[in-house]
Structure 1
Amino acid sequence: MQTGAFRTPKSGIVSRFEPRSPAAPDIAYMDWAGHHRDRVGLGIGGFFFRAKEPDALARWYADHLGVALPPESYDQRSWEQQQGATVFAPFAADSDYFGRADQPWMINFRVRDLQAMVAQLTAAGIAVEVDTEHYPNGWFARLADPEGNPIQLWQAEGADRD
């Protein structure tokens, strides 16, 4: 059974996570006070945001990034992604990492082949900025959707490689 502990960067609180059983290692942990807690270890079930033209923007994501359109009924299955690393990281309110000061979020998509994805997007006339630095966790590129929302593409390496 995998167990561990970590110190949160800002609070300094030490949190222990201890799965309840090897059969369900990612659904529960033990908090700093020794209480069992459930967690959202199954993954992100949706990403919802406001758009000026939601139908057109959903079509752009489907056409250029392969993100399936939302189901039209409850009988249709939602878009599925390959299981893999996900970073969930709040940033300081004054961070310029997302671009515009009024931009509260940025989405990061994992890609299998960053060069191929960049070529596909640029061939479609979409501006993509490739980060030339190779990080221990992989390669990155940035673009924006038609409404100016920042998108980061990530070809994972190291511990996060699929």
Structure 2
Amino acid sequence: MERVLGVGGWFVRSRDPAALTAWYRDVLGLDLDEHGQWRAQAGPTVFAAFDADTDHLGRRDQQTMLNLRVRDLDAMLAQLRAAGAEVVDGIEDLEGVGRFGWVVDPEGRRIELWQPA
């Protein structure tokens, strides 16, 4: 049986693709090349299905949520606040899994930030 090797991309609709790409590059620090390619560090990737009525993903019309691994969640959230990003109050700590925080991109998509345990 053939198997998926990893996440190959994340594609979103945008009112202003250039501005949104710049936000992900300049505010979140994605090291994007001219084609939008980013070489992520090796590490775990989680696939999880949530109940249809969950609030975890953000707005009810947001069907998916990007989760990005970070080295230092507190430092990343401070960096995002300093850049004027909308940071969701609160941090969730799951023993053995890690710490989680959230930011909302300029077009209203909730993004989860994960510092693995």
Name the residue aligned to 1:145.
105
Once the two structures are TM-superposed, the CA of residue 65 in structure 1 deviates from its matched residue by 0.9
Name the residue aligned to 1:32.
none
Name the CA distance, whole Å, in 1 between partners of 2:46 and 2:29.
20
- Matching residue within 115, 121, 146 for 2:80: 121
- CA deviation string 1:96-126 (max 9, x = no partner): 2212111111111000011111111111122
Name the CA distance, whole Å, in 1 between partners of 2:33 and 2:10.
11
Q: Does 1:44 align with 2:3?
A: no
- TM-score, with length taken from structure 1: 0.66
Contact 2:88 2:104 survives alignment (8 Å): no
- Matching residue within 46, 57, 67 for 1:98: 57
Contact 1:109 1:151 survives alignment (8 Å): yes
Name the CA distance, whole Å, in 2 between partners of 1:70 and 1:58.
11
Count matched residues: 116
Q: Which runs of 5+ in 2 are unaligned?
A: none
SS of corresponding position for 1:122: helix
- CA deviation string 1:54-108 (max 9, x = no partner): 1110000000111234534xxxx82101010111122232222212111111111
- Asked which structure has the greater CA Rg, the reply is 1
Contact 1:108 1:153 survives alignment (8 Å): yes
* Matched ranges for 1:1-162 at <5 A: 37-40=1-4, 42-69=5-32, 71-72=34-35, 78-136=37-95, 137-157=97-117
Name the CA distance, whole Å, in 2 between partners of 1:109 and 1:154.
6
Return the structure number with greater relative CO, CA threshold 8 A, min gap 6.
2
| Structure 1 residues 133 and 61, CA gap change in structure 2 (3 angstroms) | closer
